Chains A and B, each alone.
Chain A
Amino acid sequence: MKVIPKKAFRFYFFAFVVTGALVFGALQIKQPVITNPPVTGDIQAPAEVKVILRRACYDCHSNETNLRWYDKIAPVSWKVAAHIKRGRELMNFSEWNKLAPVDQKAKLWECLNQINAGAMPVKDYETVHTSSKVSEQDLNTLKNYLNTITGITPMDTAKLNARDKQYELLKNRATAITSLPKALNGVEFIPDYKNWQAISTTERFDNGTMRVIFGNEVAVKAIKDHQINPWPKGTVFAKVAWDQVVDNNGNITTGAFKQVEFMIKDKEKFVSTHGWGFARFKTPKLVPYGKTVMFTNECINCHRPLSDNDFVFTQPIKN
């Protein structure tokens, strides 16, 4: 074994430290610039709710970012800047009034779920900024607040009318649609989903909808064989959402059709979206959702906490 002489070792060590320091110093020269644009429409919520959001989320999801000295040292500062840029793009509490009231509420439920799943605040940030941790008690505060602003009116005439209008539409629609709508990522509407097996149903009290999740033959076989993580190639899910219609006895039935969403498993075809082709078709006209092909980010961001479950929420029922 060749032993490095003590002197040479010292030299190398010295050179290493100096190079490291130089590189580190050079990194500090080109720093990302983080500015705080004006707050144009801050979220309105009770003080006990806002204090949690401010402490845990505002650094990345508002125009009131408060960087600590250790956030300003490269290479950490680059990562911090990237988080802030992306965080603000997706959700900004300082520009909250840009969202419609129903979307504001939906985003808050998504926040609650991202925290509950341990996905937010971003883990490596939370590790350093320990004060951003959201406790069980904080989570309950958020949950209680959301429960107070969420609710559904029995015998809602607008909802009953919307449903009955669609019944008429169904009866009078002479033939099936001829050309299939297509989402921007190329995923086509599949009219046959109605004849697939239901693998679960959900009552979503957060947004007042009822849902049925259908699985195609490949999905149903995978459930039978209990091979669902990952789901096999060719699996397709269809999830339909309806308004809830509630009577005075607490019976909830399905009202107007709102949308149908698909997830198609093909690892080769949908490489950039974790092997799933996402699509959503809205209203009886089946209008493809999304302004650009990046609409799938929205789907993935909310499904991401289930990354160890192949990005799937549904716990399927075996019939």
Chain B
Amino acid sequence: MKTVSFVLLIASFMVSGCADHKNTPEAGELNAKASLPADFNFSKMGFKIITSMVNKKSGTMATLYGNDSVKAIALVGNRKSRRTSVFALITWKQQADKRWIGGNIPGDLLSVEMLKVDPDKNIGIYSRFKGACLKVDTDTLGQNARAKYILSLKPSIMF
């Protein structure tokens, strides 16, 4: 019996020593490739989350943020605000959640799009930043369509 339990003890050490963590992120790791560069100062812009979505065809996922004005109107549906609304749409390539088979999470950062809508002048100012370093995108093609798309997004329901 003693030798048996000894063998079991050794065996259990062996098992726990090489527990197969199939390529999961290290404990305590951040999602670095999905993070925004610190000098972009996104967290200081005072945005609140409005909604999130996925595009299966392009394998991307995105989160829409808005300033307080957007948030205030978002809660009661997409009505027009009398204050300046600022939107920010962050888009990532999707990656499989290595900690949960059955989930996809943000992977590489693809872009941040900003849209400022001035209610008096009734115009929107759109800008786009691309890639992991969020470089300004000078290509203006398709900006109107993107602005329209951002304005068409419905807020997520939260209680």
Binding site for B on A (CB under 8 A): 20, 24, 73, 109, 112-113, 116-118, 123-124, 126-128, 143, 146, 163, 166-167, 170-171, 194-195, 197-198, 200-207, 210, 212, 214, 220, 223, 226, 228-229, 240, 242, 246, 249-254, 256-257, 260, 284, 286, 306, 308-310, 313, 315-319
Contacts and interface: CB of A to CB of B under 8 A. Distances in A.
A229 B63 contact: no
Contacts of B61: 201, 203
A103 to B, nearest CB: 15
B54 interface: yes
B102 A205 contact: yes
A15 B25 CA distance: 53
A123 B14 CA distance: 11
Query: Looking at chain A's contact residues, is the secondary structure mostly helix, strand, loop, or mixed?
Result: mixed
B97 interface: yes
Given A203-B94, A207-B102, A253-B154, A220 B15 contact: no
B49 to A, nearest CB: 5
A306 B99 contact: yes
9 contacts: A112-B101, A113-B102, A163-B157, A170-B75, A201-B52, A203-B104, A210-B52, A214-B49, A317-B106
Contact of B48 (A194, A207, A223): A194
A-B complex: 8 closest residue pairs judged by Cβ atoms: A206-B102, A229-B28, A250-B56, A318-B35, A252-B54, A315-B31, A309-B27, A254-B156
B12 interface: yes
Would you call the interface of chain B mostly helix, strand, loop, or mixed?
Answer: loop
Interface stretch (B16-24, B113-121, B123-131, B136-144): B16-24
Given A118-B20, A203-B103, A315 B25 contact: yes
B106 A123 contact: no
A171 B77 contact: yes
A116 B101 contact: yes
A212 B49 contact: yes
B157 A313 contact: no
Given A203-B94, A254-B51, A313 B99 contact: yes
Contacts of B97: 202, 313
B49 A242 contact: no
A252 B56 contact: yes
A127 B15 contact: yes
A257 B28 contact: no
Interface in B41-55: 42-43, 48-49, 51-55
Contact of A317 (B30, B38, B157): B30
Nearest to B36: A319
A205 B153 CA distance: 22
A254 B52 contact: yes
- Interface centre among A127, A201, A205, by most chain B C-beta atoms within 10 angstroms, is A201
Nearest to B24: A117
Nearest to B33: A317
A203 B100 CA distance: 11
Contacts of A319: 35-36, 42-43
B105 interface: yes
B12 A315 contact: no
B31 A200 contact: yes
A123 B56 CA distance: 38
Nearest to B22: A116
A233 B146 CA distance: 42
B82 interface: no
Contacts of A313: 97, 99-100
Given A250-B56, A318-B32, 18 more contacts: A118-B21, A123-B15, A127-B8, A128-B8, A166-B157, A170-B75, A197-B49, A212-B63, A220-B43, A228-B28, A252-B54, A253-B51, A256-B157, A308-B27, A315-B25, A317-B34, A317-B35, A317-B106
B157 A257 contact: yes
Nearest to B20: A118
A284 B27 contact: no
Interface string B1-21: 110000010011001100111
A201 B105 contact: yes
A203 B103 CA distance: 6
A250 B55 contact: yes
Contacts of B145: none
Contacts of B106: 200-201, 317
B76 A113 contact: no
